[in-house]
Structure 1
Amino acid sequence: MKFSKFVFSATLLLVSAFMISTAHAATNTVQDVIDETYVQPDYVLGYSLTPDQQTQTLSLLGYDSSKDTQVKTLTTSAYAQIMNVADDASLQLYSSVKIQKLASSETLTVEIVTPENITKVTQDMYRNAAVTLGIEHAKITVAAPIAVTGESALAGIYYSLEENGAKVSDESKALAQEELSALSTINAENQGSQGYDADKLNVALTDIKKAVAEGGDNLTEDQVRKVVEDTLENYGLKDVLSADHITLIVNFALNLSHSSVIKSSGFKETLSSLKDSIVSNAKSTFKDINLNFDASGVIESSKGFFASIWQQIVNLFSQFFG
């Protein structure tokens, strides 16, 4: 009997160690690299910039030649590899970025210093995508000397991270790009539509992503769709967006639920900070809206998933070694 209890206890310890090591493996290496490597801000310039435009863009990004030394160029070949597209010399890359680390107590911020030239992507779309990429606290500055969509700037962020040693998974890159594409498409196609508001969409997405993180990878498509539709309804967007637009969000959320991104220890906390920041800046936009809406309510049972698995393990070994 003592031997049986010893085996039971040892097995539980092994299972515990496995679960802890699995959780540790999901630690956000992207943020670790930013914290440890970005002693100076890192600049990534688009390949298509002329020398004069490079100088202009660096100035817009706040470049200080007396101390800043980390300046890179995103080439078409690097862009093609990052975005998994064909290398085409005709690719036009103008959007440029600066990434600098912040203290862990600060939040993720994005500033577009040339909003008139970034025509399709808003700062909060960049922030939402950056959270999905695994960035928790950093300052990202975006600029372009001519009018461009701004979608390729995300590739500049990937490039900076990877060049500094971060292991950005293809999964994370694909998800962030899918999210940015979905948000920018929905925003562009709903400009001027009665009842539409980009701030509400971005906040709704933080709630959706947080609910997906709560539910984990056992969510069904029906559960994810319910989360999306209930959340959009809470923010007054369900009847504003088209069925195709809602499906774009559902597909992204479902892909996110199956990814390792949601296992990062700081993922939900960063989403909460992002939501608070958008709401604070938008002021009266969220008047009479329930900001405490629980998007995960429809998948409440999923929250106890791992606890349930653990209890089943305990019960199993108790049966054999009781």
Structure 2
Amino acid sequence: MLKKRTLTLWLLLMGLVTVGTLTSRTQTAQAADTWQNAVVTLGTTLTDSQKQGTIDTLTKNLSDSSDYQTLTVTGDTLVTYLNPSGSSFTSSSNVWSSAAIEKTSSGSGINVQILPYNGKNNITTITEDQYKNAALTAGVSDANIYVTSAVPIDGSGALAGVYAAFAQNGANLNQKQVNAAQNEINTLSDITDANKDKDGYTDEQLNNAVAGAKTQMAKEGTNISTGDITTIVNNQIEKNNLQNVITNNQKQQIVNLLVEVRDSGALSSSDFKAQAKKLSTDIVANAKDIFNKLDTQENRNFFQQLWTNVKNFFTNLFG
């Protein structure tokens, strides 16, 4: 009888522990997943009229244009997220560029669109693909990000707003990764600016090379050597037909930024490789007219395989 009571008591305790564990896990998951609706970040310098114009511009593409939070991005926001990477913003810095961020289903990747304000693209420096690569490095995953500005500006405020929006929703991004992302923005922007008038160069090719390099780095893991990163960069530059455009100095800058990405801890994320691969796929898909014309080994292999398949078809048909 005593044994039976002891067994019953033991089973009851185990049941309580199991229920407690499941409840704890459920609560933890709910606490981590606080992103209920989109976030619209608004630069603190915007006038009331510009704020409304910015909201109208940013929310029109949201899955629910009437359900969103707002977050004001101030000079302090810039100081918090951008100064650790070397920027020199102050609490009184002006902020105009703004963003809307909504989380999307797992595996959908990072989508960025720069939206014109009153018919004009006022983001003067950062491109859509540069935003995507920076967001990936910072630890962002599966999100639609819309960016605009009421006045011509480089677009840094919008990116700081993205970081702040994730923090507001319980996903504080690793500052080392944010620093690497900011240095990446600066590096890629400078390279694109230096090569913008050269034949055979586009920002899409550069960002696809960097996204491809990140994918390969993630496959190798967190202990990948600087030498291996250099080899990967060389391969990606050639794959994207930039070997006759990118200078050795620019190539070294890319290697340096990817070493910083490695050292930031970004590669330890299970999402990083999948997000990087999706990013590369999306860049190519969105710029088919550019990538279809590239005289790369990959394209040559594709057409050779296509011709081989055609020959095999007719051989089998009439053979």
Range class of TM-score, shorter chain: 0.7 to 0.9
Map 1:48-59 onto structure 2 (within 5 A): 48-59=45-56
Q: Unpaired runs of 5+ in structure 2? A: 1-27, 301-319
Contact 2:74–2:93 (CA under 8 A) maintained in structure 1? no
C-alpha deviation, 1:205, in angstroms? 0.8
Partner of 1:19: none
Q: Which residue type is aligned with residue 49 of structure 1? A: L
Partner of 1:268: 273
- Indicate yes or no: 2:130 matched with 1:125: yes
Partner of 1:92: 94
Contact 2:217–2:229 (CA under 8 A) maintained in structure 1? yes
Q: How far apart, CA to CA, are the structure 2 residues paired with 1:35 and 1:140? A: 21
C-alpha deviation, 1:241, in angstroms? 1.6
Higher relative contact order (CA 8 A, sep 6+): 1
C-alpha deviation, 1:290, in angstroms? 4.4
Q: How far apart, CA to CA, are the structure 2 residues paired with 1:289 and 1:255? A: 28
Partner of 2:76: 77
Contact 1:212–1:256 (CA under 8 A) maintained in structure 2? no
Contact 1:125–1:184 (CA under 8 A) maintained in structure 2? yes
Q: Unpaired runs of 5+ in structure 1? A: 1-28, 294-322
Structure 1 SS opposite 2:177 = helix
C-alpha deviation, 1:262, in angstroms? 0.8
Structure 2 SS opposite 1:152 = helix
Report sequence identity in percent.
32
C-alpha deviation, 1:33, in angstroms? 9.2
Contact 2:79–2:91 (CA under 8 A) maintained in structure 1? no
Map 1:67-216 onto structure 2 (within 5 A): 67-84=66-83, 85-86=87-88, 88-114=90-116, 116-216=121-221
Contact 1:204–1:231 (CA under 8 A) maintained in structure 2? yes
C-alpha deviation, 1:152, in angstroms? 2.8
C-alpha deviation, 1:259, in angstroms? 3.0
Q: How far apart, CA to CA, are the structure 2 residues paired with 1:250 and 1:66? A: 41
Structure 1 SS opposite 2:49 = helix
Residue 229 and residue 167 in structure 1: after superposition, are their counterparts in 2 closer, same or farther (change >3 A)?
same
- Indicate yes or no: 2:296 matched with 1:289: yes
Q: How far apart, CA to CA, are the structure 1 residues paired with 2:32 and 2:42? A: 22
C-alpha distance after superposition, 1:170-208 (max 9, x if no partner): 111111111111111111221111211111111111111
Q: How far apart, CA to CA, are the structure 1 residues paired with 2:271 and 2:299? A: 20
Q: Which residue type is aligned with residue 207 of structure 1? A: G
Q: How far apart, CA to CA, are the structure 1 residues paired with 2:30 and 2:163? A: 12
Q: How far apart, CA to CA, are the structure 1 residues paired with 2:169 and 2:211? A: 28
C-alpha distance after superposition, 1:266-294 (max 9, x if no partner): 2111111111111112113222434599x
Q: How far apart, CA to CA, are the structure 2 residues paired with 1:238 and 1:212? A: 20
Q: State TM-score, norm by structure 1.
A: 0.75
Q: Which residue type is aligned with residue 72 of structure 1? A: L
Q: Which residue type is aligned with residue 126 of structure 1? A: Y
Q: State TM-score, norm by structure 2.
A: 0.75
C-alpha distance after superposition, 1:44-80 (max 9, x if no partner): 1112111111111111101699843511111111211
Residue 33 and residue 272 in structure 1: after superposition, are their counterparts in 2 closer, same or farther (change >3 A)?
farther
Contact 1:125–1:183 (CA under 8 A) maintained in structure 2? yes
Residue 281 and residue 244 in structure 1: after superposition, are their counterparts in 2 closer, same or farther (change >3 A)?
same
Q: State which drifts further: 100-109 or 85-94.
A: 85-94
Partner of 1:301: none
Q: 1:62 aligns with which of 42, 59, 62?
A: 59
Q: How far apart, CA to CA, are the structure 1 residues paired with 2:81 and 2:180? A: 13
Partner of 1:246: 251
C-alpha deviation, 1:167, in angstroms? 2.3
Alignment: residue pair count: 263
Residue 116 and residue 69 in structure 1: after superposition, are their counterparts in 2 closer, same or farther (change >3 A)?
closer
C-alpha deviation, 1:89, in angstroms? 4.8
Decide which structure has the larger Cα Rg and report it: 2
Residue 69 and residue 236 in structure 1: after superposition, are their counterparts in 2 closer, same or farther (change >3 A)?
closer
Q: 2:261 aligns with which of 251, 256, 260?
A: 256
Contact 2:102–2:143 (CA under 8 A) maintained in structure 1? yes
Residue 283 and residue 86 in structure 1: after superposition, are their counterparts in 2 closer, same or farther (change >3 A)?
closer
Contact 1:44–1:156 (CA under 8 A) maintained in structure 2? yes
Q: How far apart, CA to CA, are the structure 1 residues paired with 2:31 and 2:125? A: 27
Q: 2:230 aligns with which of 205, 225, 229?
A: 225
